[in-house]
Structure 1
Amino acid sequence: MNSLDILGYCKRLEAVGVPREQAEVHAQMLAEVVAQVATKDDLAALKDELHTDIVALEARLKEWVKEWVSLYVQEQIQTLKVDMLKWFITISIAQASVIIAALRYLPH
């Protein structure tokens, strides 16, 4: 919290010749401005809050990436399984055809 000695500020202005009413208005306006200025404590609290938010977002992002990679890998494995099954069936049919052809042309 910013602190300002309004009475002391007002007296200093009066000491250099500023009329009392003007000095009071100056002091009040300065107090309003100072009340809106961020302090080191305010900035430190904001820094801590932002750090907490960033850590939480980083954790969520890592979890999302992990989940996405897992789904992508599962999809690729499924695709490979289908491809392997196609090749297995094709090779089995070809092998059966070769065996049938060989048996057909063997002498009886």
Structure 2
Amino acid sequence: MNALESTKYRKRLEEGGVPTEQAVAHADALGEVLERLTETLATKDWAAAFVKEQMMELKVDLLRWMVAIFIAQNGIFFAAIHYMAR
């Protein structure tokens, strides 16, 4: 919460009958909470980086499976050729 919004919030509390000291304390506390929330919320950049990272992991896993299946397939093929050649 910026200073202008904090001042508006404090004035609105005072207009509602909240003592000035309490209004200032409420405005300060709310400002701190909002600052912490904005620090911890995910941004578009963070989400895009996260998705990109997950896609890279999936690509690596897919490549591993493809190589493993290729090796298994060739093993079966050459075993069948060897068996038929006997």
TM-score grouping bracket, smaller chain normalisation: 0.7 to 0.9
The higher-RCO structure (CA 8 Å, 6+ apart) is 2
Deviation at 1:38, TM superposition (A): 4.5
> Using the alignment, how far apart are the partners of 1:38 and 1:78 within structure 2?
60
Aligned to 1:30: 30
Amino acid at match of 1:83: Y
Percent identical pairs in the alignment equals: 20
Structure 1 equivalent of residue 59 of structure 2: 59
Q: Distance in 2 between matches of 1:30 and 1:46?
A: 25
- For 2:78 and 2:28, locate their aligned partners in 1 and report how far apart those are by CA, in whole Å: 73
- Tell me, which stretches of 5 or more residues in structure 2 are unaligned? none
What is the deviation of 1:18? 0.7
| Distance in 1 of aligned mates of 2:76 and 2:35 | 60
Aligned partner letter, 2:17 = G
Q: Structure 1 length as normaliser, TM-score?
A: 0.63
Q: What TM-score do the two structures reach when normalised by structure 2? A: 0.75
1:20 counterpart = 2:20: yes
Q: Could you say which residue in structure 1 is the equivalent of 2:77? A: 77
Give distance in 2, aligned partners of 1:79 and 1:38: 61
State how far apart, in whole Å, the 2-side matches of 1:19 and 1:36 are: 26
Secondary structure in 2 matching 1:18: coil
Larger-gyration structure (1/2): 1
Q: 1:80 and 1:38 mapped to 2: Cα distance?
A: 63
Unaligned runs of 5+ in 1: 89-108
Aligned positions, number: 83
